[in-house]
Amino acid sequence: MTIEAVPGGVRIHLHVQPGASTTEVAGLHGDRIKLRIQAPPLDGRANAAVLAWVAERLGVPRRTVTLVRGEKSREKVVDVEGVTVEMVRERLKA
């Protein structure tokens, strides 16, 4: 499942493509939201960019967005506190 409710917020399953020309949602990749990120996959820059982008897009503070799994993988799981599944779907258009 791409977006699921968890206690206190939601869990988002992403497939991240670092080093893209623009940062954008690029549809689905299997059962995950495909996210193209401009940042390169060096020194955690892509992970930081993913978390910052999710926070900005959802209109929540960066501290409420946590990388749960996938630090060194394109398949990432991110938790966001204080939002609903419907809100995330609307703001990510997923």
CATH of the domain at 51: 3.30.1200.10
The closest of 41, 36, 37 to 72, measured between CA atoms, is 41
pLDDT attached to residue 92: 86
Query: Is residue 8 within 8 Å of residue 80, measured between CB atoms?
Result: no
> Which residues are CB-neighbours of 27 under 8 A, at least 6 positions away?
33, 34
Strands 3-6 and 9-17: antiparallel
CA triplet 31, 37, 41: central angle to 5 degrees? 100
Q: In the predicted model, what is the mean pLDDT of residues 3-31? A: 95
What is the number of domains present in the chain? 1
CA triplet 83, 3, 51: central angle to 5 degrees? 65
Give the structural domain span for 27: 3-92
Is pLDDT of 31 > 80? yes
DSSP state of 74: S
Question: How far apart are the two ends of the chain, measured CA to CA in Å?
Answer: 12
pLDDT attached to residue 93: 78
Q: In the predicted model, what is the mean pLDDT of residues 74-89? A: 96
